[in-house]
Amino acid sequence: MKAHRKQRLFIVLFIVAGVSIAVSLALFALSENINLFYNPSQIAAGEAPQGQRIRAGGMVVDGSVKRDQQTLEVLFEITDYQASIPISYTGILPDLFREGQGIVALGRINEQGVLIAEEVLAKHDENYMPPEVAEALQKAEAAGKAHFKPTAADSAVVTQEP
């Protein structure tokens, strides 16, 4: 390679490396602010700011959803399997909201430690499967034949059976 081309190549590499380092330092410094939500264990550890609107994300605890008979108020708990936080929400929940589903709630935590949510979003995971497969997995789990969660690898195994 000719000398002037080599020099230009070094300048190009220098630009790319310099920008990458600068951006990664900035992102590292901002990492807490880039996270969309706090986990329940982060909130329990006091990492979330007090008295401000925050987003909390986690799995809806099985059997924790209680609906008010007269109003649209719903009480439920979310967990990251280390800590959990109760949430109260008045309004219409997204279609994907159900027990065991990941959700993100935006709101303030009151004195009782309950997050009063203004907005609840459902978080979808990366797994997709046909309803029959999901049903078969649920049946197998209910029958106690297998102790597995419906993950991608398992659904692939199930679909291979005739």
Partner 1 sequence: MKVWFYRLGSPKWFYDIAGRCLPWLAWSALLLIAIGTVWGLVFAPADYQQGNSFRIMYIHVPTAFLAQSCYLMMAVAAVISLVWKMKLCDLVIVAAAPLGAAFTFLALFTGAVWGKPTWGTWWVWDARLTAMLILLFLYFGVIALQHAIQDKVASARATAVLILVGVVNIPIIKYSVEWWNTLHQPPSFKLTEKPAMPSEMWLPLLVMVLGFYCFFAAVLFMRTRNEILDRERRTKWVRELVQKVSSR
Residues that bind partner 1 (CB under 8 A): 5, 8-9, 11-12, 15-16, 19-20, 23, 27, 31, 34-39, 57, 93-96, 101, 104, 119-135, 151-153, 155-156, 159
| β-strand partners of 86 | 77
Q: How far is the CB of 94 from partner 1 (least distance, A)?
A: 3
Q: How far is the CB of 151 from partner 1 (least distance, A)?
A: 8
| β-strand partners of 107 | 54, 117
E strands in 24-101: 54-60, 66-67, 73-79, 84-90
Contacts of 121 (CB under 8 A, 6+ apart): 94, 103, 104, 105, 106
Q: How far is the CB of 111 from partner 1 (least distance, A)?
A: 26
CB distance 133 to 159 below 8 Å: yes
Residue closer to partner 1, measured from CB, 70 or 93: 93
Residue closer to partner 1, measured from CB, 63 or 91: 91
Residue closer to partner 1, measured from CB, 27 or 45: 27
Q: What tokens appear for 65 in the block?
A: 């959803």
